[in-house]
Amino acid sequence: MDSTLVVVSGAPSSGKTTIGKQLATGLGFPFLGKDSLKETLFDTLGSKDRDWSRQLGKASIELLYLFAAAELSAGRSCIVESNFKREWDRNRLLDMRNTNGARILNVHCHAQSEVLFDRFRKRANGTDRHPGHCDASNLAEFREALSQPWPPLLDSSEGLVEIDTTDFGRLSIGAILDEVRKRITEQSNGGAAERLRAPHS
């Protein structure tokens, strides 16, 4: 199969959802984001505290993996987006590549930590953020988390596009799309190119 799993990662408020949705539109892939799943769970189960938000976050990531597996096993590409952690998610994603024979490309968003925290605080105090996340009441925890390194999931030899979103206004989604398309093609040249040309049975 020639499907591609684009994994958009990065720290909270690094611009993952914005970039991920634009990539989905540009590539014509379905977009699966952790936060929209989590917010559906908040609407169904109610919003409580930060612990509850963390639990629903875990359930949402499990569901994200389930949905991605459904897409890939149908031979269809998709984009998954979450604040994936290298220590937890790297091996699971590599397993998915092996199980489903899919290509994986990691699009990793990062920015200076002060910029991240500033954005985080504005979003937490804004009206668009779902209250279930309990961001505003846990700023100290996030200030600490955002000051730590948040490494990408894959290494550059494995398929990685890094995007510095510190100055969001200067980003060109067209250029990012070109780069992502190029990297997907490069990965398919490692043997999958033959399969790409093979007619469907």
| Interacting residues with another protein (CB under 8 A) | 24-25, 28-32, 36-37, 40-41, 43-45, 52, 55-56, 58-59, 62-63, 66-67, 70-71, 73-76, 200
In the complex, minimum distance from the CB of residue 28 to another protein, in angstroms, rounded to a whole number: 6
Label each residue of 21-81 as H, E or C.
HHHHHHHCCCEEEHHHHHHHHHHHHCCCCHHHHHHHHHHHHHHHHHHHHHHHHCCCCEEEE
Comparing CB distances to another protein, the nearer of 25 and 156 is 25
Output the smallest distance, CB 87 to another protein, in A: 17
Q: Which phi and psi (to 5°) does residue 135 adopt?
A: -65, -45
Nearer to another protein (CB atom), residue 89 or residue 111:
89
Write b or e for each residue in 42-51: b if 16 or more Cβ atoms lie within 10 A of its Cβ, otherwise e. beeeebeeee
- By beta-carbon proximity to another protein, the closer residue of 52 and 168 is 52
CB distance 109 to 8 below 8 Å: yes
Q: Given the complex with another protein, which of 75 and 126 has the nearer CB atom?
A: 75
Q: Output the smallest distance, CB 83 to another protein, in A.
A: 17
